Amino acid sequence: MYSFTRKATSTPLDHYYKLVETGALKADDHQVRIVKKLEKLHDELLEYRPPEIPQKPVSSSLLSRLFGGGSDESAYPVLIAPEQVPKGLYLYGDVGTGKTMLMDIFYNSLPPSITRKRRVHFHAFMIDVHKRIHAMKAKLGLAGGDPIAPVARDLAQEVYVLCFDEFQVTDIADAMILRQLFERLLNLGVVCVITSNRHPDELYKNGIQRSSFVPCIELLKSRFDVTDLDSGTDYRRMPRTLSHVYYDPLTPDNQAEVEKIFTAFTSDPSDPVQHNRKLLTWGRTIVIPESSSRVAKFRFDQLCGQPLSAADYIEITKNFETIFVTDVPKLGMEQKDMARRFITFIDACYESKTKLFTTSEVPIFKIFADDPEARSHQLSDHMRSVMDDLGLSSDIVGSSSMFSGDEEVFAFARACSRLVQMGSKEWAETAGAR
């Protein structure tokens, strides 16, 4: 039997077994195997002394000192040998196998003495990196130079333990940035823990100029312990009592019920509802139709009928703990852009633990589904495989011919899975508290 007094500090195994002891988790041999790896990394970090990061690059080039600019590689040397840095961990596996939970256990077990640490969803991290690169290019000005090296240096000054959740590469811009950024961060002594749905060899598999990204894949495989979390248990399939947060169809009674709930959530006289509140992000303005300081309400067309980005949805969910979305229609091919935005919004809500209420024309899980009477196509083998991995059936969420590529199919199925989880009693009871 595992002893909680084995070490003076609380470790990943301590956290894991306490969750098992309280009944929050069921012991899983596959997960214990991963937690033991996290425990090893945790112990190594206790002894690790990261290198001091210079405030500015030290250039050995006289011309660089005189004229600035340029991309002098010697200005950003390897500060610590790879064998002196704890090896990072790359966890990959299907949705629902507990990757995020295990990462959170690891991160929360890090002692207070490790202050330079960050746990972030990969999408939000890349938004931050793009902002930093944009600012660095402006700072370098006409002289130009490599903006990624100083961005990596700034990040390494802020953190030396970096945890990424849901690592993925979907476009050439990110692929080219990551190739350089990871190498520089590792050379500066940054230790990373990464979760992903894909093995490194499967990243950016059909991407443009993928050959340029292959060195990054090789770096991940050589500098990380790449581990498959093949649990066999999907923690999202475990029985849950659905809470009443989704209302369909669009009847006056359902609309009135959701309006009643919104009024209850915004009943504090010291925090009245405002109309057309403005949020600023990336120099753009997002208008929130109705909101208190913690609760927001949109019609579907206000949320997804305009060209909002992932950064916008992250900003919205960062500011509001509870969000109401009304009048969600059944979506067809002509609303494909809206469907993509809604999926991005669902992902943002899920990652930020936002409580979600909706009114919809059809059950919220089926808003992407084709009309069974009009549909003549059959589910592809890929779609069947993905939906099976997520514990979904076409009887529950329907199927959609709207999404065709591998990434789109997975995003659609994952959104349905997350909507199911976000409708659970557990989610309703714990979400929205920050």
Note the pLDDT of residue 274: 94
Token duo for residue 66:
């005189």
How far apart are the C-alpha atoms of 140 and 126, rounded to whole Å?
A: 21
Note the pLDDT of residue 406: 57
Shared-domain flag, residues 314 and 210: no
Shared-domain flag, residues 220 and 257: no
- Give the CA dihedral 326, 297, 424, 340, nearest 10 degrees: 70
- 286 three-state secondary structure: strand
Beta bridge pairs of residue 191: 161
At 69, which amino acid appears? Answer: G
70 in a structural domain: no
Asked if 31 contacts 231 with a C-beta cutoff of 8 angstroms, the reply is yes
How far apart are the C-alpha atoms of 223 and 182, rounded to whole Å?
A: 10
How far is CA 199 from its chain centroid?
Answer: 17
55 in a structural domain: no
Closest by CA to 375, choosing from 401, 354, 349, is: 401
Asked if 152 contacts 57 with a C-beta cutoff of 8 angstroms, the reply is no
Could you tell me the residue range of the domain that residue 185 belongs to?
12-49+78-228
Shared-domain flag, residues 416 and 279: yes
Note the pLDDT of residue 8: 42
Shared-domain flag, residues 203 and 260: no
Note the pLDDT of residue 374: 42
Shared-domain flag, residues 164 and 294: no
Closest by CA to 131, choosing from 314, 272, 253, 289, is: 314
Note the pLDDT of residue 29: 82
Shared-domain flag, residues 255 and 344: yes
Shared-domain flag, residues 142 and 209: yes
Shared-domain flag, residues 219 and 272: no
Shared-domain flag, residues 147 and 269: no
Shared-domain flag, residues 17 and 129: yes
Residue matched to tokens 């290019």: 137
pTM of the entire predicted model: 0.58
Count the domains in the chain: 2
Note the pLDDT of residue 46: 93
Q: What CATH number does the domain containing 109 carry?
A: 3.40.50.300
130 in a structural domain: yes
Could you list the pLDDT tens digit for every one of the 434 residues in the chain?
333 333 445 899 988 888 888 776 777 888 889 999 999 999 999 999 999 988 765 444 433 433 444 444 445 567 888 899 999 999 988 766 778 888 989 999 999 999 999 999 888 899 899 999 999 998 888 777 889 999 999 999 999 999 988 888 878 888 889 989 999 999 999 999 999 988 999 888 878 888 889 999 999 999 999 998 865 554 444 444 446 889 999 999 999 999 999 998 888 888 899 999 999 877 788 999 999 999 999 999 999 999 898 889 999 999 999 999 999 998 877 788 898 899 899 999 988 889 999 999 988 878 876 655 444 444 455 445 444 444 444 444 455 554 455 566 677 777 877 888 888 777 776 776 55
**Sheet containing strand 322-328, strands side by side:** 246-247, 355-360, 322-328, 295-299, 284-291, 274-281
155 in a structural domain: yes
Shared-domain flag, residues 159 and 286: no
Shared-domain flag, residues 279 and 193: no
How far apart are the C-alpha atoms of 2 and 21, rounded to whole Å?
A: 11
